[in-house]
Amino acid sequence: MKNTTLALILISVFLWVSCTTQKRNHMAKTDKKVNELIAQMTLEEKIGQLVQKNGDSFSDSLVRSGGLGSVLNLVNVDEINRIQAIAVEESRLGIPILFARDVIHGFKTIMPIPLGQAASWNPQLIRKGAEIASIEARSSGIRWTFAPMIDVTRDPRWGRIAESFGEDPYLTSVLAKASVEGYQGDNLAHKNALVACAKHLAAYGAAEAGRDYHTVTLPENELRDVYLPPFKAAVDAQAGTFMNAFNEINGIPATGHELLLRQILRGEWSYDGMVVSDWSSVQQMVVHGYATDEKDAALKAIHAGVDMEMASTCYENYLIELVEEGLVSETLIDEAVANILRLKYRMGLFDNPYTNPSDYPELVNDTHRMVSKESAKESLVLLKNNSELLPLTTDIKSVAIIGPLADQPHDQMGTWVFDGDKSYSITPLQSLKSFLGNKRVNYAPGMEISRTMHKRGFDAAIKAARQSEVVLLFIGEESILSGESHCRADISLPGIQSDLIQAIAATGKPIVGIVLAGRPLTFEKEAEFLDAIIYAWHPGTMAGPAIQDILFGFDAPSGKLPVTFPRTVGQIPLYYAQKNSGKPASDETWERMYDIPVEAPQLSVGNTNHYIDYGFRPWFPFGFGLTYTTFEYSDVSVESGTYNLGDSIRFSAVITNTGKFEAKETAQLYIRDLVGSRTRPVKELKAFSKVNIKPGESRKIEFLVSTDQLGFHNQQMKYVTEPGEFKAGIGGNSDVELTLDFKIN
Ligand code: NOJ
């Protein structure tokens, strides 16, 4: 027995050593090729590699001269192959071009917006979605996607929250890894792999007041503890590229941020991939007031560590001059070129520069649609279900389908669908009509779009409601109201949707509100009129069939919010991992505005950190989501009361399905470090697990957390786990009580 174990250990060690040696040899070979190529390149050809241009703004002769490293936004495979042939066969050194595109949540088969995908808390689904996007994009000649966007954000006003995985560093890190692995697979040179781009380094989601591109003021410890972990996860998952952010951080534009791009990314994290700027962000350093002119911008960006310039032409126009003047060393240029060429070798671009579409399956095929449907289904969050209105019975006699988003094949795809084609979308109306038959469906949208300001459609909608057993009310915001540069200061329901809801509620019919939106919306008052609410985000191509399955109980909802829902916009930023403050609010201390006596003395009551009008709680907490059954948590425990630094801490709980429906539950582990040399959040998500449980069944779940995961950046900016007392809790959302105590020595 002992001998067998020893033999197994020896074999494993041997395999590990030979694997690592093989990998190292391979890397050394690639570096050798890169260096040999660089040695043959003129300065002009080197700088050419650092240039990325839009599909419509370069000439064949630029490609022929070796003056172009990458192209974005070309999707015609014949044109891509034609340009590639010029680069490979007609340029002096034959270096292939890297073709890029924003393939953010699907190429032709559109998955839910990333915020919706995050609501699934299902990394496997996110990986599959990215895999499908890769296969479809690759068939069009695209080799590089600008995804995943892994900016943590705690501001639903920010339009790009739609494109994010939400407010939490841990959840975002797990999903970042899944996404990178989905795009790239385990071999960048595989015909299905798309090079990923972790973006935007960094803190883009912390823009002041949720206005896109706006100023970010952030202490370095918060930057490191909250905004950077997903990027570290992307490095660990071997993301081929990174993109710097548009914003400044504490006065320094991310494009010129040496701390971020050199010290942290290249230094602390040993990243050897490639960094691309965001669109014209090099030139924008002039607009920021950080560079005197484009030449100065080029100087600052190359020094900071931006390898490739997207769209603007500072590198192309000024790097030669800067080298000649001795302000930029050729070694620095060589480093940037090496980062780019290394990637081109790793992804097999030199060996396989062309795309043969017949190597790929049909776009939007049944398998792809199935994954899109699963992803959409798991992204739906049930926020309310009074009197168990849902699921509906399939023998229902009639349903009214009302609302501006019931039949919008374009809007259901969400933001960032450059290549999305609405003709593939199945809308809720189409799906429900074919499922229930035309006769059982009374359709009257009430409003043409979510921003409609007149009531001309109301009468027909009221009539449809009166004729039906139940109303399905599709409300929310169109896709163009979220996404890049589409921020909103008021995140309530646009147009006269509030009036529509009240008019329909006046019929007395039960209403299911299905909300399609790119962000959390504030509609607490309107929600009073809705008996059930499904938050659907923008669910993608398969919105209709996914929503239908949940409405009729073919599957139970399992989505959980990846972001806190505020009651009103004035509460933002509002997130679960807040600090306690010296005067934490509670229900007892909350002094309600309308209860305050006239001319009450200033410091009479309730001196805690709450609003007198809205209190201190969110509308729905992070991690929240109902389903058609109930889950009970029991035996929540931690294995021991005391640990040493370096130990793994084992937590467990038993979850019992106490209702009648088979459903999935996402159990979440939250931990609080009670005292730190810097104050710590009141709760931090440290692990989660999504499990399927049958009615009456109990499942034991276990979480293993290393003490290293409980660290933070101290006053010396060192990542440390400090010995002391901790509390923990396991439950179905971030409101869970932390009942477990343990200590780290
Ligand atoms: C600007 C966006 O910020 C970035 O995310 C995107 O990848 C580029 N434009 C390219 O379209």
pLDDT digits (tens, 9 = 90+) for 60-94: 999 999 999 999 999 999 999 999 999 999 999 99
Interval 281-313: pLDDT, tens: 999 999 999 999 999 999 999 999 999 999 999
Give me the percent of the chain exceeding a pLDDT of 70.
98
What lies within 8 Å, CB to CB, of 161 at 6+ separation is: 115, 153, 155, 205, 482, 518, 519, 520, 563
Band (pLDDT 50/70/90 cuts) for residue 21 is: confident
Q: E strands, 74-227, where?
A: 98-101, 144-145, 197-201
Distances (CA, A) of 324 to 48, 316, 320, 329: 16, 14, 6, 9
Residue 200 CA, closest ligand 1 atom number: 5
* Residue 604 pLDDT class (50, 70, 90 cuts): low
Catalytic option among 278, 411, 531, 555 = 278
User: If you measure from the C-alpha of residue 94 to the centroid of ligand 1, how many angstroms do you get, rounded to a whole number?
Assistant: 28
Ligand 1 atom with the shortest distance to the CA of 311: 10
CA neighbours closer than 13 Å in the CB half-sphere of residue 695: 8
**Do 583 and 649 meet the contact criterion of CB atoms below 8 Å apart?**
no
Which is the closest atom of ligand 1 to the Cα of 204? 3
pLDDT(563) > 70:
yes
> What predicted TM-score, i.e. pTM, was given to this entire model?
0.97
Residue 448 has a CB neighbour count (10 Å cut-off) of 13
- pLDDT the model gives residue 23: 73
Mean of the pLDDT values across residues 571-584?
Answer: 97
Ligand 1 pocket check: which of 484, 485, 486 to mutate, most ligand atoms within 8 Å of Cβ?
484
Cβ atoms 274, 243 nearer than 8 A = no
d(CA 378, CA 509): 28
Q: What are phi and psi of 210, to 5 degrees?
A: 70, 20
Amino acid at 98: L
CB contact set of 230 (below 8 Å; sequence gap of 6+): 150, 151, 152, 165, 169, 172, 173, 176, 198
How far is the centre of ligand 1, averaged over its atoms, from the C-alpha of 200 (Å)?
9
pLDDT at residue number 616? 96
Give the span between the Cα atoms of 336 and 343, in whole angstroms.
11
Any ligand 1 atom below 6 A from CB of 163: no
How confident is the model over 87-110, as a mean pLDDT? 98
Mean pLDDT over 251-255 rounds to 98
Q: Classify strands 144-145 and 197-201 as parallel, antiparallel or unpaired.
A: unpaired
- Whether ligand 1 lies within 6 angstroms of the CB of 146 is answered as yes
pLDDT of residue 24: 74
Q: CB of 318 closer than 6 A to ligand 1? A: no
What per-residue confidence (pLDDT) applies to 239? 98
From the list 427, 521, 522, 518, the residue with the least C-alpha distance to 481 is 518
Could you tell me the distance, in angstroms and rounded to a whole number, from the CA of residue 529 to the centre of ligand 1?
Answer: 40
pLDDT of residue 605: 64
Calculate the average pLDDT of the chain.
Answer: 96
For ligand 1, say whether the CB of 278 is within 6 Å of any of its atoms.
Answer: yes
Residue 151 CB less than 6 A away from ligand 1: no
Do 689 and 667 form a contact (C-beta atoms < 8 A)?
A: yes
pLDDT digits (tens, 9 = 90+) for 365-378: 999 999 999 999 99
Pocket probe mutation, ligand 1, options 70, 105, 146, 308, max atoms within 8 Å of Cβ? 146
Query: Has 278 been annotated as catalytic?
Result: yes
- The one-letter amino acid code at 566 reads P
Give the mean model confidence (pLDDT) for residues 480-488: 98
Atom of ligand 1 nearest to the CA of 73: 11
Confidence of residue 10 (pLDDT cuts 50, 70, 90): confident
CB distance 279 to ligand 1 below 6 Å: yes
- Model confidence at 11, in pLDDT bands (50, 70, 90)? confident
Nearest CA to ligand 1 atom 11: 102
486-534 pLDDT per residue, tens? 999 999 999 999 999 999 999 999 999 999 999 999 999 999 999 999 9
Mean pLDDT of 43-57: 98
For residue 138, report the distance from its CA to the centre of ligand 1, in Å: 19
Is any atom of ligand 1 closer than 6 Å to the C-beta of 575?
no
**Ligand 1 atom 10 nearest Cα:** 279
Residue that is written with structure tokens 């490739």 in the block: 308
Question: Is a pLDDT exceeding 80 seen at residue 732?
Answer: yes
Rounded Cα distance between 205 and 185, Å, is 27
CA atoms within 13 A on the CB side of 327: 15
User: Span 534-557, mean pLDDT?
Assistant: 98
How far, in Å, from the CA of 247 to the mean position of ligand 1?
13
